Amino acid sequence: MGLLKPRGQEHLLQWWGELSGEERQTLLSELESIPWGILDPVIPTHVLSKPESVVSKTIQPARVTKQPPKGQSNEKFEAARHRGRELLGAGRVAAFTVAGGQGTRLGFDGPKGMVLVTPVGEKSLFELFALTVRGARDRFRAVIPWYIMTSPANHGETLAYFRANQFFGLPEDDVVFFSQGMLPAFDFQGRVLLSSKSRLGLAPDGHGGSLKALVESGSLRDMQRRGITTISYFQVDNPLVKPFDPVFIGLHSLTCSEMSTKVATKADDLEKVGNVCLVDDHVTVVEYSDFPAELAHARDEHGRRVFDAGNLAIHLLDVSFVDRVVAKSFQMPFRRAEKVVPYVDEAGVVQMPERPNAVKLETFVFDVLPLARNPLVLEVDRAEEFSPVKNSTGPDSLESSKRDQVLRACRWLEDAGVSVPRDGRGEPDLVVAISPTFALDKEDVVIHKDRVPPLKPRIQISVE
């Protein structure tokens, strides 16, 4: 009570007399986990009020490294490719997947990583990424560990899923799970919500919490023990991601970047992606909700969009950088999000609000980007690397992602000289997928094209 009463949070113990010994222990444990020292300063600024979005007047487009034109060689990129392959072959790169979300928005009752996403074969996101890790281990003949951040809501189910599937052929010791941190949800008066009489209303602390969780779980120390120098970070919802891109890894290394990020040209001025910019001469991601409309619509003298670098949530981070900025007690800035959160009312009855009733505090991983030395921003082709599964229908949906997976597979096959049947509109007249154990990129398809079976119209086939 000594910590709660001065903060106006004594209501959290109002049902104490009704609780069993086990329930009391659960509640005490959750109360003790609240980082009041971190939250006290932000409750007035982010819970009781909305922080103003202030964008510096010195905001400029980020300096973006662009890919060489198709078919043209480039010494810088060839040197980067060689360096990236060296690092992968030496076992210096680890994959890191942020997978704390549920598949609720997709109509799936379980971890989002278990959603079936491939156009052929019904492979889940987790299986697809496991095959990608396996493909990279085989291609580069190296041990490549995979770190997966879950949340308390899906940790047990995620681990059980991997165990039931024998870790999809990966060594169990090389797949490391840990859970992200949780923070209390507040009502608009700054009071922590109860989800039941004995449980706090807790919510994940955002993908920015992934770096803190890396440290607190001991996973960063495990990376250091293994000799890992580079972390390949990606979120669980993007089936097209290339976690082991030698060019990206090589450029990151050769430019001595501490944190690098991939971007793509925006689909439209107001696309709901972060804008990678220079703010006060630091590479920064400004969320679409905070980005001034006049800048979003700005054009240069050639009519091209001025701010056109959309954040894809695909990053490389040096292990030493994470150790420097996170392990040394750096606190990432909080973002405010208004959400619908079930809660226990004054009568002890669980209420299910229909509109946002609570504030969740989140941190975003890209907020460490301004702290990185020599940050690299690499532009890539969206069609090659980004088609997330976020919505049940429309853009960024399961349907659109499956279509994009087929289109990419057809491009890779045709670039390798394989004949792909197409209909009268020029669209693929088949459903085809390429397993990551067969090819991680189109260069692999060229090498193995003799193993591709004949492709006939209206078939469904996975090239394994």
Specify whether the CB–CB gap between 374 and 386 falls below 8 A. Answer: no
Domain count, the chain: 2
pLDDT in tens, 155-190: 999 999 999 999 999 999 999 999 998 999 999 999
pLDDT in tens, 23-70: 999 999 999 989 998 899 999 999 999 887 666 678 999 999 999 887
Residue 184 shares a structural domain with residue 219:
yes
CA-CA distance, 392 to 272, in Å (whole number)?
A: 17
Residue 323 shares a structural domain with residue 419:
no
Cα–Cα nearest to 413, from 400, 398, 432: 432
Does residue 5 form part of some domain?
Answer: no
Q: Looking at residue 317, which CATH number applies to its domain?
A: 3.90.550.10
Among residues 390, 425, 448, the one where a domain terminates is 390
Return the ∠ at Cα 197 (arms to 180 and 210), rounded to 5°. 5
CA-CA distance, 100 to 324, in Å (whole number)?
A: 25
**Domain residue limits at 461:** 393-464
Residue 381 shares a structural domain with residue 398:
no
Residue 332 shares a structural domain with residue 441:
no
pLDDT in tens, 245-270: 999 999 999 999 999 999 999 999 99
Q: What pLDDT is attached to residue 361?
A: 93
- Whether the full predicted model's pTM is greater than 0.75, yes or no, is yes
Among residues 364, 390, 416, the one where a domain terminates is 390
pLDDT in tens, 62-87: 999 999 887 777 899 999 999 999 99
Residue 140 shares a structural domain with residue 73:
yes
Residue 354 shares a structural domain with residue 401:
no
Residue 314 shares a structural domain with residue 425:
no
Residue 333 shares a structural domain with residue 455:
no
Specify whether the CB–CB gap between 432 and 406 falls below 8 A. Answer: yes
Residue 330 has pLDDT above 70, yes or no: no
Residue 361 shares a structural domain with residue 406:
no
Who's near 168: CB < 8 A, 6+ residues apart?
126, 127, 130, 131, 134, 162
Among residues 390, 408, 426, the one where a domain terminates is 390
Does residue 77 form part of some domain?
Answer: yes
CA-CA distance, 400 to 229, in Å (whole number)?
A: 35
Question: Mean pLDDT throughout 336-344?
Answer: 92
**DSSP type of residue 394:** S
Residue 162 shares a structural domain with residue 44:
yes
Cα–Cα nearest to 357, from 175, 193, 188, 206: 188
